[in-house]
């Protein structure tokens, strides 16, 4: 969920920076608990390493799918 939260925040910030009207009441309804890609039976460490370069770039919706 931490990964989802960080990237949702980055996506909302990018949309706002690009001039889209992203309303706070819409953002309040977002949930980071999309879990199809999360192994609920595994062990997890929530200590974030300092990764060089920060977050990966967000996907360009206009780019062709690979």
13 in Cβ contact with 57 (< 8 Å): no
Contacts of 38 (CB under 8 A, 6+ apart): 1
* The predicted structure's pLDDT at residue 61: 81
pLDDT per position as a tens digit, 18-62: 999 999 999 988 887 766 666 667 776 677 667 677 777 888 888
* The predicted structure's pLDDT at residue 12: 94
- The pTM score is 0.52
| 10 confidence band (pLDDT: 50, 70, 90) | very high
* The predicted structure's pLDDT at residue 60: 84
């Amino acid at each position: 969920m931490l990964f989802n939260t960080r990237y949702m925040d980055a996506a909302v910030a990018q949309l706002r920076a690009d001039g889209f009207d992203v309303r706070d009441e819409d953002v309040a309804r977002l949930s980071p608990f999309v879990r199809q890609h999360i192994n609920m039976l595994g062990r997890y460490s929530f200590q974030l390493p300092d990764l060089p370069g920060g977050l990966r770039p967000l996907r360009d919706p206009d780019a062709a799918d690979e």
